[in-house]
Amino acid sequence: MSTMKVRKRSNAPIFWGLFGAGGMLAALFGPMLVFITGIAVPLALLLPADTMSYPKMLAFAQNFIGKAFIFAIIALFMWHAAHRIYHSLHEIGIHAGMFAKLLCYGSALVCTVISAVVLLGLGF
Amino acid sequence: MSESQKIIEIEVLRYNPESDKEPHREVYKVPFSDDMSVLQGAQYIKDNFDGSLTFRWSCRMAICGSCGMMINGIPKLSCETFLRDYYPNRISIEAMAHFPIEKDLVVDLSGFIEKLESIQPYIIPREARTLEQGEYIQSPAQFNEYIQFTSCINCTLCYAACPQFGLNPDFIGPAAMALLHRYNMDSRDGGAEQRMQLVTSEEGVFNCSAVGYCSEVCPKHVDPGNAVNINKINAAKDYFLRFLSPKGGSK
């Protein structure tokens, strides 16, 4: 229809996609990671005491698959959290607009870059 | 009236744009019987206490979608909500949330009507057919794809329920998006691409934060929340795949 007004395309799919991917990873791995890193290893339950020792974790982070896993977990969790916080702010009546957007998604971007740089810096 | 006549207090949000600066509440003591709906309670007030009380209604049987209001803060059709379920407590009725009030319980739906028009709510034929070619054949399976989304009666309870519509009245919203989905899913229709511009726009599906209250309050079980969220996936596909298959859409 020629009378239809031209609408601006929303960029939300980018952030929604990262949010969704992070949400799925969080649901799949979040509780398990909390258990391993927060409960099992510190309390020496079920797992060997040196599960998260420095040499083991370094080897994990130097392995290509381990590197990809750590990167995905940190970066996508951050994008998920950023999106959720941004929308929750809107819902509770704080419509900070571009500032909130930059703060939320900006911190996710910074964490993504830092984790990529650190992980690559560890070598293979 | 018998001695045991039950009386319920109905608190009504009143607003007369010609004399009131802002809405105020008035309480009426309404005698009722167990078969009386909230709509009949409002009619009793209009007939016996104040003829100026204004509200929309027509069918009295949850078909026309006219009599939606906030009943104790919940969007409901007043014709299928019964006074007996609230007695002996006071019941409060207000105009549907998130819409501008025109008078008393009547809201201004012109924004919603514009949205309905904007989704092109009619079949845009996938292929032109002549009379000689006969009707468009549709299988029961194809029919089942969209039939659920045809049940909408435009009562707009889902808009009164949607917190995102409350925050951004430009959001195309649940009912309009459910109807859009109804036509997109119809095997005879080929208008999905034309409608995609709206789905992917800033007024489109990504305003939704998947609260789901729209589907909860829907008196016809349309599940508009589902329609909106399926279209988030369609919109995301359109966003990322448009570079592979260029076509008309939002700029």
pLDDT in tens, A61-74: 999 999 999 999 99
> How high is the ipTM of this complex?
0.78
Chain A: residues touching B (Cβ < 8 Å): 1, 4, 6-10, 12-14, 16-17, 87, 90-91, 95
SS3 A50: coil
Cβ–Cβ of B201/A16 closer than 8 Å? no
Distance separating alpha carbons of residues B155 and B179, to the nearest angstrom: 13
Give the tens place of pLDDT for each residue, B201-231. 999 999 999 999 999 999 999 999 999 999 9
The DSSP element (H or E) to which B27 belongs, if any, is: strand B24-32
Cβ–Cβ of A16/B236 closer than 8 Å? yes
Q: Which ranges in A1-124 belong to alpha helices (H)?
A: 12-33, 54-62, 64-91, 98-121
Amino acid at B225: G
Q: Which residues pair with B71 in a beta bridge?
A: B74, B93
Q: Across all residues in chain B, what is the average pLDDT?
A: 94
Q: Across all residues in chain A, what is the average pLDDT?
A: 90
Domains of chain B as residue ranges with CATH: 6-107 (3.10.20.30), 110-241 (1.10.1060.10)
Q: Are B228 and B177 in contact (CB under 8 A)?
A: yes
Give the tens place of pLDDT for each residue, B41-56. 999 999 999 999 999 9
Q: How far is CA B69 from CA B17, B43, B109, B160, B165, in A?
A: 18, 14, 13, 9, 16
Show the tokens assigned to B45.
Answer: 């007030």
Q: Which residue has the tokens 């209604």?
A: B57
SS3 A101: helix
What was the pLDDT predicted at B190? 94
pLDDT at A35 over 80: yes
Cβ–Cβ of B200/A91 closer than 8 Å? no
The domain A17-121: what is its CATH number? 1.20.1300.10
Distance separating alpha carbons of residues A6 and A11, to the nearest angstrom: 16
End-to-end CA distance of chain A: 57
What was the pLDDT predicted at B110? 97
Which tops the pLDDT comparison, B250 or B192? B192
